[in-house]
Amino acid sequence: MHIDLTGRTALVTGSTQGIGAAIAAGLARAGARVAVNGRGEQRVAESIGLLAKQVPGADLVPVAADVSSDEGADQVTQALPQVDILVNNLGVFGTADPLEITDEEWRRYFDINVLAAVRLTRLYLPGMTERGWGRILCIASDSAIAIPAEMIHYGMSKTALLAVSRGFAKKAAGTGVTVNSVIAGPTHTGGVEDFVYELVDRDLPWDEAQRVFMRTYRPQSLLQRLIEPDEIANMVVYLSSDQASATTGGALRVDGGYVDAILP
């Protein structure tokens, strides 16, 4: 299958590292003009420098703004009035005793992991609808379905994101715009390495620490390893393409078989 996104403009929120950076690279390889987003100008510039080496000739646009705020979202739309592909990737995660999560922390997770996606979808969906083509993707998590006891606030936010995606897909019905979510399983990123070492012996070499983590905390995984960010990006690039025109309102799993269900 040859995916050609030439002529399309994509915005990937939280794309200076991890899954977001892999998605930005994947879309750029497929020919899209890609807006790289992060909160700081220097971090965005550094990320674009790395992506330019990975994808020579890529058309990359720096968009430094905190999209979890109204002001940041306005900055983004001013810098990028029109997008064809919106990937709501921005998110935070961490462990916490459920009884010690404050109201403020619950709100912070909801604001960043859910409302940022709602806000940008609300801003960009009308233009996509007018043009008769668009792709909106929300990066969710297996934690949306199998809520981890050690991160209920994170799981809650990702469950809400599935509902947001399905609801906006109904709003976009019959317009040529598709809205989907991608359920990412345990993925190998720098942040996840830190997370793993919060739960297992920090003196263990990474390969062994990863195995202990998967065996102890994610034994349901059929893949029995962490997923690489490029594997998530491959699904996003496909869903961003013309070839995925009949896929909307879905929650597509790239979870290594972690969720023990035929359907999400």
Residues labelled catalytic: 154
DSSP H helices in the chain: 18-29, 41-54, 70-79, 103-110, 116-131, 152-171, 190-199, 206-217, 229-239
C-alpha to C-alpha distance for 227 and 205, rounded to whole angstroms: 18
Two tokens at 101?
Answer: 């999560």
Residues 6+ apart with CB under 8 A from 49: none
C-alpha to C-alpha distance for 214 and 222, rounded to whole angstroms: 10
Q: Are 140 and 158 in contact (CB under 8 A)?
A: yes
Any idea of the CA torsion for 168, 237, 21, 216, to the nearest 10 degrees? 80
Q: Are 150 and 94 in contact (CB under 8 A)?
A: no
Q: Are 229 and 19 in contact (CB under 8 A)?
A: yes
